[in-house]
Chain A
Amino acid sequence: MRRIFISRGHIIGYAAFALAILVVPLFIDDPYLLNKLARYLIFGILAAALALSWGYTGILNLGQAVSFGLGSYCMAMTLKLHTIPIQTGAAGLPDFMVWNNVKSLPWFWEPFHSTAFAVVAGVAFPVVVALLLGWFVFRARVTGVYVSIITLAMLVVVNLVIVDQQRFTGGFNGLTDLADLKLFGIDFDPYSGATYYLIALSLLATLMIGEFVVRSKTGLIMQAIRDDETRVRYFGYDVARYQIFAFCVSAGLSGFAGMLYAMVMAFASPTFLSVQISLSIVIWCAVGGRESLIGSALGAILVTGIQGGLSETPAFLNTWMLIMGALFVAVVLFLPKGLISIVQLGMARLAGKKISALAEDEAPLPRGHKLGIG
C-alpha cells in the first residue's frame, strides 16, 4: 500500500484531529449538542469533497448540493419505508403518498425496502449523475466559470424537479418522520453516540480516501490540470478523464455525506439541494484552505461551529451574519490559502530546524505564502 502521508507534520496533524473528534463525546452529555457536532462533521466531509474538485483540480462545482441531496433522499427513502405505518393504507405506503392519492408504491421506491440497496444507491446515484454531467461538460472542454454556471443550473433544475414531483418526493416538505437506521444490530438514533462515531469515522475515512487520491500521481496530474489544463494534454493525458474522475469522487463522497445528514436530521428536504448549501461549502473551503483536505474540513467545522454559537447567543442575534461575513473577507484577503496555511507555516518552521531528520520525509515547503502576518 502506498503512503498517504507526506511528512511527520502531516501525520501529527491527522492524529491530533482524529483524537480530537473521537474523544469529544466523552465530555458531552447533551445529546442535542452531540447531534449538532455530528452535523458539523458532515459538513467537514462536504468541504473535503469540494477541496478535491475545486482545490486540487480547479473545478468549482456549485452544484455539489445535488450529490448531497440525492444521497440524503436515498437514505430517507429507505428509512421512510422502515417506519411503522401509522397513517398509511394497507399497502404500507408512506404517509405523504396517501395524502397525494398515490395508490401503490412507485417502482423506483421498491428497491429501497433494502437498506443495503439504499446505502449503495446513495453513493452510486450521485456518481452516475456526476459522470453523465461531467462527460458532457469536460468532453466539450468547458472550463472555469462556465463549469460553475452549468453545475449551478443543474442544481436549480434538480431542486425544481424534486419540489414539483410531490407525489413521489414529498415536495416542499420532503421526507419526514423517518425511522432510525438499524445496521449490524446497532440503532443509529440521531442523538446517540453511535451515530456520532459513525459520522466521525466517515469523516476520517473521507480524508484518508482524499489523501490517497491527492498523494498519488493521479492527484499530481489533477493539480497540474488546475494549473494549466491545456499543457497537460501535450504530455499524453486525457484531461477530461481526470476531471471526470475528480468530479465523480467528489460527488460520491458528497452523496455519502447526504446519507449521514438524513440520518442525523431525521428528514430530507429540498433545502438540502439549495444554492445556499452549495455556496456555504465554497466558503468553508476558502476559509479553511481549499488546497488542503483537512484544512477544508476544519474550515467547515469552524465556520458552522462559530455560526451556530453566535446565532444562538442573544447578544449576537442581530449581528452574527455580519461577523461571519467579516471573518470570511478577512481570511480570503489575508490568507489566500486559508487558515490551514498558518498551521502549515508553523510546521514548516519547526521542520526547518531539524531538516536533516526530515529529509527523507521531504516535507514540501508550503506553497506561495502571502501571509499578512509575522
Chain B
Amino acid sequence: MSLLELKGVEVQFSGFRALRGFDLSVAAGELRCLIGPNGAGKTTALDVICGKAQVNGGDIIFAGQNISHFEEHRIARLGIGRKFQVPSVFRELTVKENLHVAFCRRAGVFANLGISAAKANADELEKLAELVGLKESFRREAGILSHGQTQWLEIAMLVAQDAQLLLLDEPTAGMTAAETRKTAELCKQLKGRHTMLVVEHDMGFIKEIGDVISVMHQGRLLAQGTVAEIESDPEVRKAYLGSGGIRGA
C-alpha cells in the first residue's frame, strides 16, 4: 500500500497551471527520486504536499487521510517533513536550538512552557548533530554555517522532527563533490527508516541513492522507472531537449 498518493493534482498560480493533473504514488519505506527540467513543477509538487501551495483540484492522500486542504502545521504533525530548495534554518538560533525547535513532540504553547529550552533532550539533539557532522558547531549560531552545513542541518532537523515522510528539495544543490558524496551517505542511512521523496538534478547522486525515479515535465508525470529505463526513454529525452540532456540538467 502506498503511503503517499497524489491523484490528478492541479495547482495554479494566477492562471498558470504549474501542476496539470499530477499523479504520484510512493510506498512506505521507499526512496523516490523526482527529476525533471527546470520549471517542470518539482518544487510545486513538494509545496502542494506540505501545504505551502493550494490544491486547485485532485486529491492528496497521506497514510489513508485526504490532506489536500489541511493547514501546514497539521500536515507536519501527521508526519511530513520538508527541506526547502533554498536551505531555510533559523539563522539567529544555534544548531542545538534549531534541532530543538524541529524536535516537535508536543506542539501546544502551554505544553512547551514546561520544557526547558536549554536542558531538554540535549543528548538526543547532540547525537543528531553528530549524525550530520555538526557536533563542533552544536552551540554556534546557524547563520555562520557554510552552505553545505546548512543543508545538513536542515536534513537533521527533519530527522529530529521524526517525520515519516521526508520531502527533500535539491539536497545537494551548491555542494562540492565531496559534500555531495557525504549527503548521499546520509540519505542512505535514512533510507528505510523514513520514506523519502527527493528532488534532484545530479544524476550521479540519483544513481547512488535511488531505486525508482519519477520524471516530471510541464506539471505532469512523464515517466517512471529505474535509471536505465529512464535514460533510454524517448519521451524523457525529448523533454530534456534544449536543456543539455538529462545528464546536464
Chain A residues in contact with chain B, CB under 8 A? Answer: 2-3, 6, 212-221, 223-224, 226-228, 230-239, 241-242, 245, 362, 364-365, 367-368
Given contacts A226-B92, A238-B71, 6 further A-B contacts (CB under 8 A): A218-B109, A227-B90, A228-B91, A234-B81, A237-B73, A367-B141
Contact A238–B101 (Cβ < 8 Å): no
Contact B117–A219 (Cβ < 8 Å): yes
Contact B114–A216 (Cβ < 8 Å): yes
Contact B112–A235 (Cβ < 8 Å): no
Contact A235–B102 (Cβ < 8 Å): yes
Contact B101–A245 (Cβ < 8 Å): no
Interchain CB contact (< 8 A) of B72 among A227, A234, A242? A234
CB-CB under 8 A from B93, the residues of chain A are: 220, 223-224, 227
Task: Say yes or no for B113: interface residue by CB 8 A criterion.
Answer: yes
- Min CB distance B88 to A, Å, is 5
- Min CB distance A138 to B, Å, is 12
Q: Which B-chain residue is minimally distant from A3 (CB atoms)?
A: B116
Interchain CB contact (< 8 A) of B92 among A212, A218, A227, A237? A227
Interchain CB contact (< 8 A) of B117 among A216, A231, A242, A368? A216
Q: Count how many chain B residues have C-beta atoms less than 8 Å from C-beta atoms of the other chain.
A: 43
Task: Say yes or no for B107: interface residue by CB 8 A criterion.
Answer: yes
Interchain CB contact (< 8 A) of A228 among B90, B108, B113, B141? B90
* Interface hits, B106-132 → A, CB 8 Å: 107-110, 112-120
- Min CB distance A2 to B, Å, is 5
Given contacts A217-B112, A220-B93, contact A362 B139 (CB under 8 A): yes
- Min CB distance B218 to A, Å, is 27
Interchain CB contact (< 8 A) of A236 among B115, B120, B140, B161? B161
* A304 CA to B153 CA, complexed, in Å: 44
- Min CB distance A226 to B, Å, is 8
- Min CB distance B211 to A, Å, is 26
* A168 CA to B89 CA, complexed, in Å: 52
Given contacts A224-B90, A234-B81, contact A217 B72 (CB under 8 A): no
Contact A236–B76 (Cβ < 8 Å): yes
* A213 CA to B109 CA, complexed, in Å: 10
In the complex, the number of residue pairs spanning A and B with C-beta atoms less than 8 Å apart equals 112
Q: Which A-chain residue is minimally distant from B119 (CB atoms)?
A: A3
Given contacts A6-B118, A368-B143, contact A220 B109 (CB under 8 A): no
CB-CB under 8 A from B71, the residues of chain A are: 233, 238
* A135 CA to B143 CA, complexed, in Å: 32
Scoring A224, A231, A233, A236 by chain B CB atoms within 10 A of each residue's CB, the highest score goes to A236
Contact A242–B92 (Cβ < 8 Å): no
Interchain CB contact (< 8 A) of A367 among B52, B81, B92? B92
- Min CB distance B76 to A, Å, is 4
* A216 CA to B114 CA, complexed, in Å: 6
- Min CB distance B55 to A, Å, is 17
Interchain CB contact (< 8 A) of A213 among B76, B113, B119, B140? B113
* A221 CA to B93 CA, complexed, in Å: 10
Given contacts A237-B73, A362-B118, contact A220 B100 (CB under 8 A): yes
Contact B73–A233 (Cβ < 8 Å): yes
Contact B161–A235 (Cβ < 8 Å): yes
